[in-house]
Amino acid sequence: MTKDKTRKEKYYSAVRRAIASTKVSSTLKDNLRAIVRIVAQTEHFAASILILDATRTKLAHSASCGLSQPYLRKGVLESEQSVGEISTGEITFIANMANDSRVQYPDMAIKAGIVSLLAVPIIVDDLSVGSLRVYTHEPHEFDEAEKDFLLTITELAAIVIAREELPQGTSKPLLQESRSVAFAHPSEEEFARLLDFYEIEWVYEPRSFLLRQDGEKTVEMFTPDFYLPALDLYIELTTLKQKLVTRKHRKIKRLKELYPDVKITLLHRDDLERLLARYGLGPLALTRAYGIKKVIYTAAEIDDKVKIIARAISMEYASKRPVLVGIQRGFLCFMADLIRQITVPIDIDFMGISYYSSGDKKAVKIIKDLDINIAERYVIIVEDIIDTGITLNYLMAHLRQRNPAGLSVCTLLDRRTRRIVDIPIDYSGFEAPNEFLVGYGLDYKEEYRNLPFIGIPKIGEDNKRPR
């Protein structure tokens, strides 16, 4: 048997196994893992499939075999700066990653002992959605048989991705999913589930930043918990003792000094628990709230602020007849008072969101969509309170698909201290404190909506309802 025939049979067998391993019933990530594992076993190279995020600007390792964790966590790749196969749609070869300008992290390649790289774009509907990359630890020239094998494998990966019904050119399945990651702390898993819920792409512990070194010796590193590619934002969660929180603040301050272009935010335990409680998760969701600890905004203060917002809207939309869109149920009190004070013609509509389960996955579902056609109309989203901006970001993207003439945001309460998604707010009432608030439409487990003021509830402080 000739050597060429033996190689062809090896590749034929590998492709058959790859096809057999990509089951319709399996998740996309499991199927991609099976593909890269077979590539690595067949060629004795390290292999990875990288997927573009929804903005088509970032690449992240979605499935890999044979690559070290430090190399995988070197950072999310810029699609325009990394190798080049995404933009050209062509197979790209790099003989020496240590001195090639197309390599975004050459120092990490050196540390990982990676020398040569072949990158094959994964193309769906004539558009690159990702890449299959193979890495060698010795200088290697890839021959035509190897390239043909890898091209066949990427075509299989493209079929697997396409049957997930992705939006064209995007990575609809998340770069990571909460059920497929081993988290260091339960709070991280809960936060990941929340991101999954809103279909926000994330990567867990994607990069370790060097903070301090002594000569060639690394003294201190910092690895943020999450990276959100679409927002270009790192997030660090803290549920630890205060002295350790202080240490994290110091590290983040140092990181910002050394890497001024890196965006990072720290979510404290209370911030996270209150955020999770809004979606029925975390410890606060298991407690009860009885009574009001403190009134934050009186009925008179709210009334004055509503009048100010109404005047501003009336002036801005004097001849535009805007559509006011209320979100969920918390907006009811605010919107009812607001529309009575607006002096120009308006239309009103409502939206509601919930989530549904599809197998092991949770996703956002709009349970009440608009009845009004908003194409070429000026739309004002009316919210009771904006915290992280995650909900609002999702809904704005949904509404933009209807081609409105303009899309503005109006909220009574703006809690910027918890913002994750930076969304411009056109009309706002109060800069909300970092407290859990109820009243004037805001609830805790459906209680307190009908209070005429806004206050801080007693959460879990009493075991009995007051008589």
Is residue 1 helix, strand or coil? coil
**What is the C-alpha separation between 345 and 343, in angstroms, rounded?**
7
First to last CA, the chain: 91
* Torsions phi, psi for 173 (to 5 deg): -65, 140
| 3-state percent helix, strand, coil for the chain, nearest multiple of 5 | 35, 30, 35
Residues in contact with 40: Cβ distance below 8 Å, sequence separation at least 6, in sequence order:
46, 47, 65, 66
Of 158, 156, 183, 177, the closest CA to residue 169 belongs to: 158
Residues recorded for the chain: 467
Active site residues: 387
Residues in contact with 123: Cβ distance below 8 Å, sequence separation at least 6, in sequence order:
89, 129, 154, 158
DSSP characters over 316-351:
HTTTT--EEEEETTTTHHHHHHHHHH--S--EEEEE
Structure tokens at 135: 């890495």
Structure tokens at 290: 């009885």
Of 100, 104, 99, the closest CA to residue 57 belongs to: 104
Of 86, 174, 156, 110, the closest CA to residue 360 belongs to: 174
- DSSP state at residue 417: G
For the CA atoms of 351, 357, 360, 363, what is the dihedral angle to 10 degrees?
-10
**What is the C-alpha separation between 96 and 352, in angstroms, rounded?**
54
Residues in contact with 190: Cβ distance below 8 Å, sequence separation at least 6, in sequence order:
272, 276, 281, 282
Residue linked to tokens 């859990």: 436
